[in-house]
């Protein structure tokens, strides 16, 4: 029996569903550079309204969305405070510094993914010619699959605001965070997403991760902020023409794929539970759809052979000594169980 590949490398590997493809095919189109694509305009209005902002901008990637945000909040010679593991610092090619001469000031994360409030406070520079001007606090939720506590978001936001800093949220997986937070509060995921967004001046949301669209992110903010971001998007080559094909997929995802993220979270927990107890394997309890597994002791040198074993078994993952498994709409319980069996077989050999 031939099994389909279980691709746990990332939730970016999802394929559009048949219903999403139908929505794309039926999308009315125009030229978005002329602000004339009705599907793009509808998506921008929808995501802005969902998160409580005046306006939104559809962009090809989350990296470009964060770049537009930072360069819209900051000028040359400014700096933004950001976590060491934040995507817009570590994984986006240093774009803010390269293209905007905006300096990142990275801070260490606490075990729960937060940045200590006293360290944020201490990192804000005085108004002195020796220092870059601190202008922005950038947070990420979820971070490595961790849900930042809502009370912390409020405190960090108030601290930044009291010191005159703008506040940006990289919410690439904002709706994963919202679904996890809704499970704690009993509110709806949309209500929780809006509550989190209310703590920030701008929010970036990715459609091509857990929501399952093929391409695209949105940057939300005030009318003036989005006007600045629009200019930067143009300079960065992000102006697309009949982009409604992509916007329709994102709009479909917002309508149909938010609540189902709870299934991905349950599958991540199923995977973590199935790997518990393997010697020299430390499984970090997942909060959303990302499972980290650390190889320790005698297992540490075996990461490459383990990944090769999984690949030969039709299972894909990433990592070195810390492996990462990400569940998404193209992964089911059978695929998770195959992964558990394959990993246990490897360590029993």
In this structure, are residues 82 and 106 in contact, taking their beta carbons and an 8 Å threshold? yes
| Sign of the dihedral defined by the CA atoms of residues 100, 102, 107, 109, in that order | negative
Same domain, 237 and 311: no
What does the pLDDT look like over 138-153, one tens digit per residue? 999 999 999 999 999 9
What does the pLDDT look like over 22-39, one tens digit per residue? 999 999 999 999 999 999
List, for the chain, all residue ranges whose pLDDT scores fall below the cut of 50: none
Same domain, 248 and 297: no
21 within a domain of the structure (yes/no)? no
Same domain, 144 and 286: no
Same domain, 233 and 126: yes
Kindly report the backbone phi and psi dihedral angles of residue 248, in degrees, each rounded to the nearest multiple of 5, phi listed first.
Answer: -65, -40
Same domain, 168 and 300: no
Same domain, 241 and 96: yes
DSSP state of 132: P
DSSP strand E in 207-256: where?
Answer: 217-221
Nearest to 251 by CA among 28, 87, 9, 88: 28
- Report yes or no on whether pTM surpasses 0.85: yes
Same domain, 122 and 224: yes
18 within a domain of the structure (yes/no)? no
Q: What is the DSSP string of 136-148?
A: EEEEESSBTTBPP
Same domain, 250 and 268: no
Task: Work out how many domains the chain is built from and give that number.
Answer: 2
């Amino acid at each position: 029996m031939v099994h389909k590949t279980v691709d746990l490398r990332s939730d970016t590997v999802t394929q559009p569903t048949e219903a999403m493809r139908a929505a794309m095919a039926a999308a009315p189109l125009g030229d978005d550079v002329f602000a004339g694509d009705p599907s793009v305009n509808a998506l921008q209005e929808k995501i802005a309204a969902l998160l409580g902002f005046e306006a939104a901008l559809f962009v090809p990637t989350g990296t470009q969305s964060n770049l537009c945000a930072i360069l819209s909040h900051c000028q040359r010679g400014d700096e933004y405070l950001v976590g060491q593991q934040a995507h817009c610092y570590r994984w986006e090619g240093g774009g803010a510094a390269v293209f905007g001469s905006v300096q990142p000031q990275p801070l260490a994360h606490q075990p729960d993914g937060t940045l200590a409030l006293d360290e944020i406070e201490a990192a804000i520079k005085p108004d002195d010619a020796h220092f870059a001007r601190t202008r922005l606090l950038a947070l990420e939720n979820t971070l490595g699959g961790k849900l930042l506590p809502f009370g912390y978001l409020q405190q960090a936001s108030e601290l930044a605001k009291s010191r005159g800093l703008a506040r940006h949220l990289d919410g690439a997986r904002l709706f994963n965070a919202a679904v996890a937070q809704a499970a704690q509060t009993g509110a709806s995921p949309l209500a929780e997403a809006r509550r989190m967004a209310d703590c920030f001046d701008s929010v970036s949301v990715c459609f091509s991760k857990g929501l399952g669209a093929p391409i695209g992110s949105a940057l939300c903010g005030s009318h003036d902020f989005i006007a600045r971001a629009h200019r930067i998007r143009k300079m960065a080559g992000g102006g697309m023409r009949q982009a409604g094909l992509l916007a329709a997929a994102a709009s479909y995802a917002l309508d149909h794929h938010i609540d189902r993220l709870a299934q991905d979270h349950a599958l991540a927990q199923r995977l973590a539970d199935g790997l518990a107890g393997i010697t020299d394997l430390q499984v970090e309890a997942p909060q959303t759809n990302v499972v980290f597994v650390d190889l320790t002791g005698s297992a540490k040198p075996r990461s490459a052979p383990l990944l090769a074993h999984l690949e030969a078994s039709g299972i894909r993952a990433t990592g070195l000594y810390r492996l990462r498994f990400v569940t998404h709409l193209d992964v089911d319980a059978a695929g998770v169980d195959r992964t558990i069996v394959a990993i246990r077989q490897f360590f029993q050999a």
